[in-house]
């Protein structure tokens, strides 16, 4: 009975992500770290949920849906990976390696629901011009339901068929292959960090990157301590840049006033 309740809550979480990710008032925002926290509440396995959520959060860094582009739904991948890990007992690396392709599948579903909702957008616009506001609201709610299918369908399929299927597959495949999946799953966060560094001004702040590496790799400082030091450094940089802007504005005003006085 407990597993059935968990299954229902997991499917509801997938459906809620639709509203949360598009309402403008985000609580978890489909971010893997936040989704992993909620999955920890549902499954009771905090360690597995947070490790997988943090791993997929690192993988998703630097990946953004700009201009309506379709990207993998890492929130869905987080739900599926945690479900597989907690129900089958496979390692987090194997679970991520299984869950990530499900997140990739949402790329195709995203394109499909966007095509379908284009019809609803034109329908809602027509109802708006006709001042049929209640019908327009109903059409909007229906479009949200259709949008949620790209989250709900994969998660529901995994909840219903996933655990027995994964157990069967993991018993059938050789150990060397599952070890390879685990190694690949552990390497993928590095790719996410690499993507993030590609878009960041690394050359400008290289000293901070080196300091953070030394603190974690050589001094074994916990990640929270490194994050707090990073926040402090960021605040100092922000204050310095703000002062520079104020001084530049002040000098510009003085120059303009001096020019007027000279005339």
In sequence order, which residues have a C-beta less than 8 Å from that of residue 112 and are 6 or more positions away?
150
Task: Output the pLDDT for position 19.
Answer: 73
Give the residue with greater pLDDT, 51 vs 179: 51
pLDDT at 33: 86
Q: What is residue 71's predicted lDDT score, i.e. its pLDDT?
A: 67
Instruction: Give CA–CA dist 188/195, Å, rounded.
Output: 11
| More confident site: 256 or 74 | 74
Q: Which of 18-22, 42-46, 195-199 has the highest mean pLDDT?
A: 42-46
pLDDT tens, residue by residue, 67-118: 555 667 888 888 988 998 888 877 777 788 777 777 777 766 777 777 787 8
pLDDT, tens digit, for every residue of 219-249? 888 878 888 998 998 898 888 888 888 777 6
Give Dmax (Cα) for the chain: 88
Q: Tell me, what's the pLDDT at 1?
A: 47
Q: Mean pLDDT, to the nearest integer, of 173-202?
A: 68
Domain ranges of the chain: 2-200, 201-263
How far is it, in rounded angstroms, from Cα 245 to Cα 63? 31
Q: What percent of the chain has pLDDT over 90?
A: 2
DSSP code for 103:
H
d(CA 87, CA 100): 17
Question: Of 63, 58, 10, 59, nearest to 35 (Cα)?
Answer: 10
pTM of the model: 0.63
């Amino acid at each position: 009975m407990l597993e059935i309740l968990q299954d229902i809550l997991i499917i509801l979480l997938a459906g809620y992500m639709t509203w949360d990710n598009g309402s403008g008032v985000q609580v978890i925002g489909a971010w893997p770290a936040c989704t992993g926290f909620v999955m920890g509440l549902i499954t009771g396995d905090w360690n597995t949920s947070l490790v997988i959520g943090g791993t997929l959060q690192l993988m998703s860094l630097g990946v953004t849906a700009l201009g309506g582009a379709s990207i993998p739904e890492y929130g869905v991948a987080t739900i599926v990976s945690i479900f597989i890990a907690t129900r089958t007992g496979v390692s987090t690396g194997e679970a991520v390696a299984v869950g990530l392709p499900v997140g990739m599948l949402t790329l195709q579903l995203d394109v499909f629901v966007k095509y379908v909702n284009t019809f609803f957008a034109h329908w809602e616009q027509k109802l708006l011009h006709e001042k049929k506001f209640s019908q327009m609201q109903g059409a909007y709610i229906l479009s949200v339901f259709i949008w949620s299918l790209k989250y709900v369908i994969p998660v529901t399929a995994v909840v219903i068929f996933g655990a027995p299927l994964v157990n069967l597959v993991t018993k059938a495949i050789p150990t060397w292959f599952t070890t390879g999946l685990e190694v690949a799953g552990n390497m993928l966060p590095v790719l996410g960090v690499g993507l993030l560094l590609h878009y960041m001004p690394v050359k400008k702040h290289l000293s901070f990157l080196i300091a953070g590496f030394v603190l974690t790799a050589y001094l074994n400082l916990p990640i929270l301590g490194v994050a707090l030091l990073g926040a402090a450094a960021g605040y100092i940089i922000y204050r310095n840049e703000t002062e520079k802007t104020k001084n530049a504005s002040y000098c510009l005003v003085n120059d303009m006033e001096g020019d007027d006085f000279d005339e």
